[in-house]
Structure 1
Amino acid sequence: MTNSIEKPVAPATEAVGRRLLARRVGAGAAVAALATGGMTVASAPAQAQSITDADIFNFALNLEYLEAEYYLRGVTGSGLAAGDTGGTGASGGVTGGSAVNFRSDYLRQYMTKIAIDEQAHVKFIRAVLGSSAVARPAIDFATAFTTLARAAGLINGSQTFNPFADEVSFLLGAFVFEDVGVTAYGGAASLISNRDFVSYAASVLAVEAYHAGAVRTLIANIGGGAAANSVTALRAQLSGAADEVGVTTATSMYNFAPTDSQAQTFRRSPRQVLNIVYGAQNASSGLFFPAGMNGTIRS
């Protein structure tokens, strides 16, 4: 895999993408009850514990592991090298994930560039943390997406959702992560005391925001706005706050930058982020992290 990304070409399979998305994930489905597939909602307590800069960056490293494994497996069929996954805490494997048969060269190029960036983020944060870096925890791509898709009303209880099945499904799976990463870095910024670390977090946040905007635009262009909006509604309910904006609005405008009324990125506390990636408020593990994250900030 190289870092040479050519200029994107116009999507030749746009009509195919629209039909495939509608068939696979029911693009007009309403959000289902969160109890579906074991996902539940409860009140979220405030983050009471005292945390260090290293704790915050290890929290971010868990999320970067998740993103890097997703994109690398979709683009190359393989995940992170063993040398990029060790550290403190319980080391876990990755369940699910495979190379995607991209039919559109422009989508392959976008996803390849994001894979390169996410791999670099893992390496960078591990270098910043040194011997304090946590190991990659167990990650589930095999069943987590089906649980989430059922809870969002994208599929029924007898269907499954595999984001690695085709390029459109992979794009929707990517959307699940991207906005979460942006809001996580935005929320963590005020908790960091070291000015150098603030600069690092801001730089990574900027790249994650570029990724999120690109994924949102690509989804809207292939007619996946309704499906993505169902995912945003579910994430907001799990988070427990009005901290989401859909990919398309009531006026059919593309919303590539999810912002509040002051045009600022939504910011989530670590607990709110955990609610989403664990699939339930106040949970200590679940969904994408079946054994929980590694590090101090994990429950």
Structure 2
Amino acid sequence: MSFFLFLCFITLLFVPSFHASDTDQDQDSGNTHAILPRSDIDLLEFPLNLEYFEAEFFLWGALGYGLDVADPALAFGGPSPVGPKRARLSPLIRDIIAQFAYQEIGHLRAIKSAVRGFPRPLLNLTKESFATVMNSAFGRPLIPPFDPYANEINYLLASYVIPYVGLTGYVGANAKLLTPRAKRLVAGLLGVESGQDAVIRTLLYERSLTKVKPYGVTVAEFTDKISLLRNKLGGEGLKDEGLIVGKAWGAEGMIRGNVLAGNKFSISYGRTPEEILRIVYGGGNERRPGGFYPKGADGRIARSHLI
């Protein structure tokens, strides 16, 4: 009998133990935030600011309505965005953007299954807001003012403006996360976000030498100007590249085409929350809301700078 008990003891030592924090049931319950460290919660909540933006911009652009129709509960009672509307898109591009929109809804659900989250912040998605970005990128007013909803090329260029910023945020956050659960979630989000960015860049690359009417500037030049602006606003050096670069900056220093942005090893760039706020606020200062977030972003990280 004592030998039997000894065998049972040895067996128990080598049987894997399963904790609530490792089960899908716990993640789906919405209580995961209770077992994550504070720093992981903050880093998982911050991207909601960009996910709200992308969900609203893609929903409105493709379908002509936003979260208030698609899933009001996900907005957590936050104010409706200002100024978005249905864009003039071909059936193919409308279908792609609609896919992105539903993916962003999924991302909101995924993040809120892990952390409590916060209400949708006020978003300025007016054509004037995008026009301001483009004017800043070119260092002069574009005439007529840029309208992201006017046509397909304009909408794709507008889609180039912010979603990539969220991608770099996930890359930057991943190294700072402490728990496997948070890292798994961010890796999964990053996979789809990077795929969306690749599709947007590829669609634009096909049109890279097309001149954007009526400005007489090519699509490639637009992306270059936008990337230069984001580097400037972020304030931390080169973390952004347009569709066509000098050969020395292309993959392995061998090619000018730049469908995917990356460093000299073709590794994605990462940004901190502070860099992202400087960009999306439009003024290069994480303490001064503006741009697409007139009242500021939300979450502990963003709020900590609004003092």
Alignment TM-score > 0.5, same fold: yes
Matched, 1:111 2:111: no
- How far, CA to CA, are the matches of 2:190 and 2:62 in structure 1? 23
Equivalent residue for 1:148, pick from 133, 151, 154: 133
Unaligned residue ranges in structure 2 (runs of 5+): 1-36, 209-218, 248-254
Task: Name the SS of the counterpart of 1:191 in structure 2.
Answer: coil
Q: For 1:228 and 1:287, how far apart are their aligned partners in 2?
A: 19
Aligned residue for 2:222? Answer: 227
Q: Aligned in 2, Cα 1:68/1:155: closer, same or farther, shift over 3 Å?
A: farther
Deviation at 1:284, TM superposition (A): 3.2
Which whole-Å CA distance do the structure 2 matches of 1:159 and 1:271 have between them? Answer: 33
What's the offset of the Cα at 1:191? 1.8
Counterpart of 1:297 (choices 272, 289, 301) is 301
Asked if the contact 1:217/1:254 (under 8 Å) is kept, the reply is no
Q: Percent identity at matched positions?
A: 28
Deviations along 1:207-245, one digit per CA (max 9) or x if unpaired, are 111111111111111131111111001000001121111
TM-score (normalizing by structure 1): 0.77
* Residue equivalent to 1:288: 292
Match of 1:25 in 2: none
* Amino acid paired to 2:296: G
Deviation at 1:96, TM superposition (A): 0.9
**Equivalent in 94, 114, 134 of residue 118 of structure 2:** 134
Alignment of 1:12-23 (within 5 A): none
| Contact 1:229–1:247 (CA under 8 A) maintained in structure 2 | yes
| Structure 1 residue 203: Cα displacement | 0.8
Does the 8 Å CA contact 2:50/2:163 hold for their aligned counterparts?
no
Is 2:254 aligned against 1:250?
Answer: no
Residue number in structure 2 paired with 1:19: none
How far did residue 157 of structure 1 move? 5.9
Give the distance between the partners of 2:226 and 2:269, measured in 1 at CA: 16
Cα contact 2:231–2:240 (8 A) shared by 1? yes
Shift of 1:194: 1.6
**Do 1:154 and 1:227's aligned partners in 2 also have CA atoms closer than 8 Å?**
no
Deviation string for 1:251-275 (max 9, x for gaps)?
5833121100122100111100111
Deviations 1:152-171 (A, max 9, x none): 11862664222112221111
Q: Distance in 1 between matches of 2:139 and 2:114?
A: 39
Asked whether the 8 Å contact 2:245–2:256 carries over to 1, the reply is yes
Q: 2:234 aligns with which of 236, 239, 247?
A: 239
Distance 1:51 1:280, change over 3 A: farther
Q: For 1:297, what is the secondary structure of its paired residue?
A: helix
The yes-or-no answer on 1:121 pairing with 2:107 is yes
Paired residue for 1:64, among 44, 48, 51? 51
Contact 1:187 1:267 in 2 (8 A): yes
Letter in 1 for 2:158: G
Q: C-alpha root-mean-square deviation of aligned residues, in Å?
A: 1.8
The alignment status of 1:83 with 2:73, answered yes or no, reads: yes
Q: Alignment partner for residue 270 of structure 1, among 260, 273, 284?
A: 273
Distance 1:266 1:292 in 2: 24
Q: Does 1:261 align with 2:264?
A: yes
Amino acid at match of 1:66: F
SS in 2 for 1:96: coil
CA distance in 1, matches of 2:112, 2:58: 18
**Which of 184, 192, 196 does residue 199 from structure 1 map onto?**
184
Once the two structures are superposed, residues 130-152 of structure 1 have per-residue CA deviations (whole angstroms, 9 ceiling, x without a partner) of xx211100000113211101001
- What amino acid does structure 2 have at the position aligned with 1:243? K
SS across alignment from 2:138? coil
Secondary structure of 1:233's aligned partner: helix
The aligned amino acid for 2:259 is F
Cα-to-partner distance string for 1:47-97 (whole Å, 9 max, x where unaligned)? xxx96211111101111000100000001111113211117xxx3320011
Instruction: Specify the code of the residue in structure 2 equivalent to 1:248.
Output: I
Task: Please say which of residues 154-163 and 235-244 is displaced more in the overlay.
Answer: 154-163
User: Of 207, 211, 214, which residue of structure 1 is paired with 2:199?
Assistant: 214
